[in-house]
């Protein structure tokens, strides 16, 4: 690799694979609108789609067998990582970084044949914090719901499924200390284990 050639962060190639040949072809053939020489996400299997996200979102109990910088969409993630249940967190799924395992443990995922991370997330748009929009994606599958009158009274049935069914939880692994404070504060992240949590019955 050439010095200075690495582009840090999340770029197109993370999800679509090496793009040089794709770019060269389309620069030379601007009239061609069908993507060539690039991995089209919609052509991947469900597992392959989940593996693309899990490269970064599969937690901290994984041991690298080889560098994930070589991972390309369509590869089997198990060829890159192995589980280490004695690692950080003792094998317990922590809310930080392990979104793929949490989602895969959810009934929404297990009872679906095609749910993936992209059922809710679109990497090409920034809707972070838009709970109403995420809730509409829940309702796409859960058209008929049964809730208590207390829940209905809060007016959140169609605008905020997320706070009840994907609540923020404290990471067991990460804390932070605020300036001027003596105690550590929990780092709270959105759980990706979609479930019925006891808090919604209170």
Whether 51 has a pLDDT exceeding 90, the answer reads yes
Contact 135, 158 (CB under 8 A): yes
In a domain, 21, yes or no: no
Residue 56 lies in a domain: yes
- Tell me what pLDDT residue 156 has: 56
Is 30 contained in some domain?
no
Split at pLDDT 50, 70, 90, the class of 199 is: low
pLDDT tens, residue by residue, 102-158: 999 899 999 999 999 999 998 888 888 888 888 888 888 887 767 665 555 555 566
**Percent of the chain whose predicted confidence (pLDDT) is above 90:** 37
pTM confidence score: 0.80
Integer CA distances (angstroms), 36 to 19, 22, 23, 124, 142, in order: 10, 6, 9, 19, 37
The set of residues, in sequence order, having a beta carbon less than 8 Å from that of 10 and lying 6+ positions away, is: 123
Answer whether residue 172 shows pLDDT above 60.
Answer: yes
Count the domains in the chain: 1
Flag the least confident range among 25-34, 41-50, 138-147: 138-147
C-alpha closest to that of 168 among 99, 95, 102, 107: 95
Name which of 1-10, 44-53, 111-120 the model is least confident about. 1-10
Answer whether residue 174 is part of any domain. yes
Would residue 133 count as lying in a domain? Answer: yes
Instruction: For tokens 């060269």, name the residue.
Output: 24
Q: Residue 1 pLDDT > 60, yes or no?
A: no
Q: Which residue has the higher pLDDT, 1 or 192?
A: 192
What's the average model confidence in pLDDT over 160-165?
88
Task: Say how far apart CA 8 and CA 69 lie, in whole Å.
Answer: 11
The SS3 of residue 46 is helix
| pLDDT greater at residue 188 or residue 63 | 188
Mean pLDDT for 15-32 is: 93
Host domain of residue 68: 39-201
Asked, for residue 1, whether it belongs to a domain, the answer is no
pLDDT of the residue at 139:
86
DSSP 99-146: HHHHHHTSHHHHT-SS--GGGT--TTS--TT-HHHHHHHHHHH--S--
* Residue 7 falls inside a structural domain: no
What is the enclosing helix (H) or strand (E) of 153?
Answer: helix 149-153
Residue 44 lies in a domain: yes
Residue 92 confidence (pLDDT) above 90: no
- The secondary structure element, H or E, covering residue 165 is helix 162-165
Q: How many residues does the chain have?
A: 202
């Amino acid at each position: 690799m050439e010095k200075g050639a690495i582009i840090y962060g999340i770029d197109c190639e993370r999800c679509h694979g090496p793009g040089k040949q794709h770019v060269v072809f389309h620069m030379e053939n601007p009239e061609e609108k069908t993507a060539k020489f690039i991995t089209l996400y919609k052509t991947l299997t469900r597992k392959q789609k989940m593996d693309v996200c899990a490269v970064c979102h599969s937690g901290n109990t994984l041991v690298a067998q080889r560098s994930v910088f070589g991972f390309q969409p369509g590869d089997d993630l198990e060829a890159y990582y192995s589980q280490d249940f004695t690692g950080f967190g003792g094998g317990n799924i922590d809310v930080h970084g392990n979104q793929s395992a949490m989602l895969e443990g959810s009934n929404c995922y297990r009872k679906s044949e095609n749910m993936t991370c992209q059922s809710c997330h679109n990497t090409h748009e920034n809707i972070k914090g838009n709970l109403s929009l995420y809730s509409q994606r829940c309702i796409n599958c859960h058209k008929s719901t049964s809730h208590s009158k207390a829940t209905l009274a809060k007016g959140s049935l169609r605008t905020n499924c997320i706070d009840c069914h994907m609540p923020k939880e404290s990471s067991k692994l990460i804390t932070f200390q605020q300036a001027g404070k003596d105690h550590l504060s929990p780092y709270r992240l959105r759980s990706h284990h979609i479930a019925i949590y006891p808090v919604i019955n209170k």
